[in-house]
Structure 1
Amino acid sequence: MTLTLDVQAACSDPAPEESELRRWLDCALGEAGHARDAEISLRLTDEAEMAALNHRYRQRDGATNVLSFPADLPPGLELPLLGDIVICAPVVLREAREQGKPADSHWAHMTVHGCLHLLGYDHIEMADAEIMESLETRILAALGLPCPYTFSLEKERFAS
């Protein structure tokens, strides 16, 4: 499997190197069983652009951490295009600080999360959320990173 990645940096906030983004996406695709070539566009943006996208496509106010836009290819068209991921750098950095997580761990989680949405995973229904969260945890473990759903809880427990 070969990943073609187009990274667009549309903000001035600190963000991971393209090599790290690629490593996280490669791992996510592999652990999710995606054996075909893949093309992903990844845009790193500011809060104003993310808020506009969130309002336009989800009818929700404010910036969110990550949005995914799976490719909508006609049936029978076999292209490796998976879609677009948009990550809001200031939101990811703020969430990492608020949750007591290393920024790189949270960046990896948001990148993996966006990739899984491109592959059709979702978390609207509880059963689907459990499947997606389990896969995210497995992918992050393969990358040597902690479970994103227990890290801040463990930190709080040890601080008490």
Structure 2
Amino acid sequence: MEIQIRMDCPAPGLDAQKIKVRAKRVLKDLACHDKELSILFTDDEHMAALNRQYRGKEGATDVLSFSMLEEPDGDLSPDFESIMLGDVVISVDTALRDAEELEQPFEETVERLMIHGILHLLGYDHEKSSLDAIRMREEEERLIAQFEKP
């Protein structure tokens, strides 16, 4: 299992090695221990450009996911054998604002966004229905709780 972390902008207090360890733990828990993952930390300007280019939406967002397992119609490929799971892109600027608004540590906000992005790579989609949103939120909570265990 290989996790690549790239920092395109400063992320104060963020430990890239710890994020990598946590990402590995999430992938292992989701039975993706043989997959590779890329996580990019960027700023709002770059995130807004990606959001516009790939989703047709204006402005920055907190996290984007680009699955290597997804078919053009949005469904997961039956060929789950691809070793590369995909890319998760996190806006440091938005994560910092979210952390302040939620009154939680920046690192915890980033971990939640990472989990959210990984779940999207695996086909979870909170925008399809309220039931899917609940299912995704429950899985996020279950996975974040794993970090509290030794």
TM-score (normalizing by structure 2): 0.85
Q: What pairs up with 1:3-152 in 2 under 5 angstroms?
A: 3-14=1-12, 16-32=14-30, 34-72=31-69, 78-124=81-127, 125-144=129-148
The answer on whether the counterparts of 1:93 and 1:103 sit within 8 Å (CA) in structure 2 is yes
Within 2, Cα distance between the matches of 1:130 and 1:60?
Answer: 24
How has the CA–CA distance of structure 1 residues 61 and 25 changed in structure 2, closer, same or farther, with 3 Å as cutoff?
Answer: same
| Identity between Structure 1 and Structure 2 (%) | 35
TM-score (normalizing by structure 1): 0.80
Letter in 2 for 1:60: K
Note the residue ranges of structure 2 that are not aligned, 5 or more in a row. 71-76
What corresponds to 2:73 in structure 1?
none
Q: Secondary structure at the match of 1:27?
A: helix
Q: Give the superposition deviation at 1:60.
A: 1.2
The answer on whether the counterparts of 2:69 and 2:79 sit within 8 Å (CA) in structure 1 is no
The answer on whether the counterparts of 1:24 and 1:112 sit within 8 Å (CA) in structure 2 is no
Q: Give the superposition deviation at 1:113.
A: 0.6
Q: Cα RMSD (Å) of the superposition?
A: 2.0
Within 2, Cα distance between the matches of 1:81 and 1:142?
Answer: 24
Q: Give the superposition deviation at 1:79.
A: 2.8
Deviations 1:86-108 (A, max 9, x none): 00011101110011111111111
Q: How many matched pairs?
A: 142
Deviations 1:59-103 (A, max 9, x none): 111111100000047865833110011000111011100111111
